[in-house]
Amino acid sequence: MAEILIVEDEPSINELIRRNLELAGHHCTQIFDGNEAITILAEKNFDLVILDIMLPGADGYEVLEQIQGTPVILLTAKSELSDKLRGLNRGADDYITKPFQMLELAARVEALLRRTKKAKKCFELDNVRLDFERRLILVDGKPVDCTPKEYDLFVTLVKNRNIALSREKLLDLVWGYDFDGGTRTVDVHIQRLRAKLGLEERIVTVYKLGYRLEAPV
């Protein structure tokens, strides 16, 4: 799920985009004016912005100047090359010309999210974010205080998500084959992870075997 800001003054287009992106599992915030877009961008972080050029208040180019580090898809009624270049030169990641097919916009949104996620080297599940580069687990954007073993265990579950892992396998992968403690160690760490990350429903117990992290594919 991504947090997406839609800046488009035409209510029917804004609504069409919101409906389709929410069907794809994203959460959308709708804005209809350039100045309001600048205000909300200063207050809140988004994973992606869909930005119309011709807007009341500040126009799309002015809004674009306020955006740093967030991927942007420009919506433009203008099909002239110069307008597209102007947007791309000012930091937009992609553009789409109106009238557009919703399927095409949705595909571009997913492609851009995939690209940026890969670049960020993060895994996200519900409100939990695993940041591989910083070796951090964040819940609602706040770093969770966890031990190195708890971190390694979560990484192992994430890398093998939707696969049932036996306690012995987890011991091997996380603690190493020469670890002397019993499989009870795994249970204790799993319980702590579930509680710390609020993933009681996601980290499921596999009867008589071990554990599985359930995540959307």
* The pair of three-digit structure tokens given for residue 166, joined into one six-digit string: 């036996």
Peptide bond into 99 cis (omega under 30): yes
Work out the angle at residue 68's Cα, subtended by the Cα atoms of residues 65 and 71, and round it to the nearest 5 degrees.
Answer: 100
CB of 198 to Ca ion, least distance (A): 40
Q: How far is the C-alpha of 152 from the C-alpha of 172, rounded, in Å?
A: 12
State which residue, 9 or 36, has the beta carbon closest to Ca ion. 9
State which residue, 59 or 152, has the beta carbon closest to Ca ion. 59
| Residue 153, SS3 per DSSP | helix
- DSSP 8-class letter at 206: E
CB of 7 to Ca ion, least distance (A): 9
Binding residues for Ca ion, rule CB under 5 A, total 3
State which residue, 40 or 155, has the beta carbon closest to Ca ion. 40
Q: How far is the C-alpha of 179 from the C-alpha of 119, rounded, in Å?
A: 35
Is residue 83 near Ca ion by the rule CB under 5 A? no
CB of 24 to Ca ion, least distance (A): 23
CB of 50 to Ca ion, least distance (A): 12
Piece of 6-14, 107-115, 132-140, 188-196 that binds Ca ion (CB under 5 A): 6-14
CB of 67 to Ca ion, least distance (A): 18
Piece of 51-59, 81-89, 134-142, 171-179 that binds Ca ion (CB under 5 A): 51-59
Reading phi first (left if > 0) and then psi (alpha if -120 to 50, else beta), residue 140 is in: left
Q: How far is the C-alpha of 120 from the C-alpha of 131, rounded, in Å?
A: 8
Count of beta carbons in the 10 Å neighbourhood of residue 167: 18
Is residue 9 near Ca ion by the rule CB under 5 A? yes
State which residue, 90 or 120, has the beta carbon closest to Ca ion. 90
CB of 51 to Ca ion, least distance (A): 10
Is residue 54 near Ca ion by the rule CB under 5 A? yes
Q: How far is the C-alpha of 61 from the C-alpha of 39, rounded, in Å?
A: 15
Piece of 17-25, 49-57, 128-136, 157-165 that binds Ca ion (CB under 5 A): 49-57
Q: How far is the C-alpha of 127 from the C-alpha of 176, rounded, in Å?
A: 30
Residue ranges in contact with Ca ion by CB under 5 A? 9, 52, 54
